Structures are given as structure tokens and as C-alpha cells.
């Protein structure tokens, strides 16, 4: 059953900020890369104090650039969460060096552990589970791992999700013995229904790790379609394709208003829903995403520079 009629009534009753969306966006996180972070003059003018900022480590990015970005964000008062992509880490010694430098230079105590978008591993590691097994993250307070609401064809090549689900069960067991808080940080998707069904399926399978749902921020439609195809976004890509066929919307920037409103309404109606946070992919730019989140009431719409 569609939630849109309910949402339209709610918006009519409460002009301006949707209170469900405002609540859903509290303590949201956002992702940056060193090269995009360099273009931001002052993060404090854009992001609320204490925002968790992931730093994406793309193949070819120098660790020195990652460190510089982490130190800058930490100095500005943000929670820094660098990526640790298993397949670009050569061995345990390199991983230990990265961790020591992040801790020493930027006080980092949280990270996103993932396989990484590299077909052939550079060294000893090919999965986030192997990184966790090293024991090197024992001092981290928070560890996030990847989630895939629409499956991952790179892992489950037969179109099922058997391997992914087995890995999530392993991570669930790990979370029950680790002192670190864990969460699933997911790939972005554009349709609320399949996201809700996936989250419910995990819960029914005994996977209770909280979910931080990936949402693509405002961007040109062509940009989103390009990233969605490159990142393997599945069935919900049809939402963008349908929009592209509407000439009246083709030149307008996409905004995640509808998917967030439906997820927020579901969360409001089901407080135990296991999606707990929103994680933004600022595909149309950090500034555009941050300003959009502020307009929706994200983190009470207060940038750090105004605190």
C-alpha cells in the first residue's frame, strides 16, 4: 500500500518541514572524498556540529590525502569515519600503519570496513571480515560494514543473496562479541518499498545490526543515473528512468524527498524499525546536499558555525 496519500495529508496539516523527516534526519551522516573536500572552504558553514563524516578511500587515493582530510574534519569537531577497503590494503602491516596514523593524527576511533570496488585484491585481504579478524580494530568504538538493499551482483553472481546473507550472519555474530558499536551502511537506492522489505527480511533472519540507509543527495538526473549504473543499483533505478521520460522533470534536479518521506513515515509508525539513521551520498555536491538537509530540518538545521 502506498504511503503517499498519507504523506500529502500530513504535509497539508503541517506546512514547511515534515516532522517525520526532521526526526528521521537527526544525526545523519555524509560522505566526502579528499578531492571534493578540498573544494569546501569551511565545513562548519554546512554541517551541524558533531556530524559523522565518512571519508571514501578510492583506489589511487594517497593515504596522505586521506590523513589530511581526516585531521581537518576532526579539528573542526566532526566524527571522522574513514573507509578501510580490504582489497587495496596489501597486508596486516599496512593496515596497522593506517590505523596508527589515523589514531595518532586525527584521533579516529571509527571506520567503515568494506571489500572495496576493486576486482583483484592488491594483497592479502579481499573482505571486510578478514579485516575484522586481524584484531587491529580492538580500540575502535564504532565499526560499520556494507549493506546492499538491492543485492550485490559482484558477490552473488547468480542473482541470489546467499553469500551476502551468510556474511551478514557472520558479522551479526561478530557484533555480539565486539565492544564496538556496529551498523550497516548501505548502498543508495531510490524506492522505499524494497528498502523496507529488505530491512524487515534482515530482522526476520536474526540480523539486528542497526541500518544506516544510503540516500543519494540532490543532483542532476543524468549524474544520478550514471552513478547508479556504475554502483550496481538495481530495481529502484527504474524510478530515475521513469523520471527521465517526463520532459517536465528531465531538466530539474532530483531530490530524495519522496523516498525519505516514505521511510520516515514508516519509521514514525514503526518505532522499532531497524533503519535508524540516514547516510547521504552527495553526488550533486556537498554544499547542495548539506543545504538540502538543513532545509528539511536535518539535525535541527543548525550548521556548526551557528552553534
The tens digit of pLDDT for each residue in 197-239 reads 999 999 999 999 999 999 999 988 777 777 666 666 666 666 6
Task: List the grid coordinates of 69.
Answer: 582530510
pLDDT at 5 (0 to 100): 43
pLDDT at 25 (0 to 100): 95
Task: List the grid coordinates of 207.
Answer: 540480523
What is residue 269's three-state secondary structure?
helix
Flag residues of the chain having pLDDT under 70.
1-15, 151-160, 227-252, 299-304, 306-307
* CA distances from residue 60 to 89, 94, 125 in whole angstroms, order as listed: 12, 15, 17
Task: Please give the domain boundaries of the chain with CATH numbers for all domains.
Answer: 4-8+18-300 (3.20.20.220)
pLDDT at 118 (0 to 100): 85
Residue 171: DSSP 8-state: H
pLDDT at 12 (0 to 100): 39
What is residue 290's three-state secondary structure?
helix
Paired sense of beta strands 52-55 and 181-188, if any: unpaired
pLDDT at 111 (0 to 100): 98
Beta carbons within 10 angstroms of residue 213's beta carbon: 28
pLDDT at 155 (0 to 100): 67
* Residue 229 burial class via C-beta count within 10 angstroms: exposed 0-12, middle 13-18, buried 19 and up: exposed
Q: How far apart are CA 111 and CA 214, in angstroms?
A: 16
Single out the residue of 109, 126, 108 nearest to residue 117, CA to CA: 126
Amino acid at each position: 500500500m502506498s504511503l503517499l496519500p498519507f504523506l500529502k495529508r500530513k504535509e497539508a496539516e503541517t506546512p514547511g518541514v515534515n516532522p517525520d523527516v526532521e526526526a528521521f534526519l537527526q544525526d545523519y551522516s555524509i560522505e566526502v572524498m579528499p578531492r571534493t573536500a578540498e573544494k569546501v572552504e569551511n565545513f562548519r558553514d554546512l554541517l551541524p556540529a558533531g556530524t559523522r563524516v565518512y571519508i571514501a578511500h578510492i583506489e589511487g587515493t594517497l593515504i596522505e590525502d586521506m590523513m589530511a582530510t581526516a585531521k581537518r574534519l576532526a579539528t573542526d569537531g566532526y566524527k571522522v569515519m574513514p573507509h578501510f577497503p580490504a582489497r587495496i590494503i596489501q597486508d596486516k602491516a599496512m593496515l596497522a600503519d593506517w590505523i596508527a596514523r589515523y589514531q595518532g593524527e586525527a584521533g579516529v576511533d571509527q571506520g567503515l570496513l568494506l571489500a572495496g570496488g576493486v576486482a583483484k585484491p592488491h594483497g592479502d585481504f579481499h573482505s571486510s571480515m578478514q579485516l575484522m579478524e586481524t584484531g587491529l580494530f580492538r580500540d575502535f568504538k564504532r565499526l560499520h560494514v556494507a549493506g546492499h538493499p538491492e543485492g550485490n551482483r559482484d558477490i552473488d553472481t547468480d542473482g541470489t543473496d546467499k553469500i551476502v546473507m551468510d556474511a551478514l550472519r557472520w558479522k551479526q555474530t561478530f557484533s555480539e562479541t565486539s565492544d564496538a558499536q556496529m551498523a550497516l551502511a548501505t548502498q543508495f537506492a531510490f524506492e522505499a518499498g524494497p528498502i523496507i522489505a529488505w530491512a524487515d527480511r534482515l530482522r526476520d533472519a536474526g540480523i539486528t545490526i542497526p541500518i544506516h540507509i544510503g540516500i543519494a543527495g540532490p543532483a542532476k538526473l543524468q549524474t544520478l543515473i550514471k552513478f547508479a549504473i556504475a554502483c550496481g543499483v538495481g530495481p529502484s533505478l527504474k524510478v530515475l528512468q521513469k523520471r527521465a521520460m517526463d520532459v517536465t522533470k528531465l531538466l530539474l534536479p532530483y531530490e530524495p524527498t519522496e523516498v525519505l518521506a516514505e521511510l520516515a513515515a514508516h519509521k514514525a509508525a514503526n518505532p522499532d524499525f531497524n533503519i535508524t539513521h540516514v547516510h547521504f551520498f552527495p553526488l550533486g555536491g556537498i554544499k547542495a546536499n548539506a543545504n538540502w538537509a538543513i532545509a528539511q530540518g536535518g539535525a535541527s538545521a543548525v550548521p556548526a558555525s551557528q552553534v
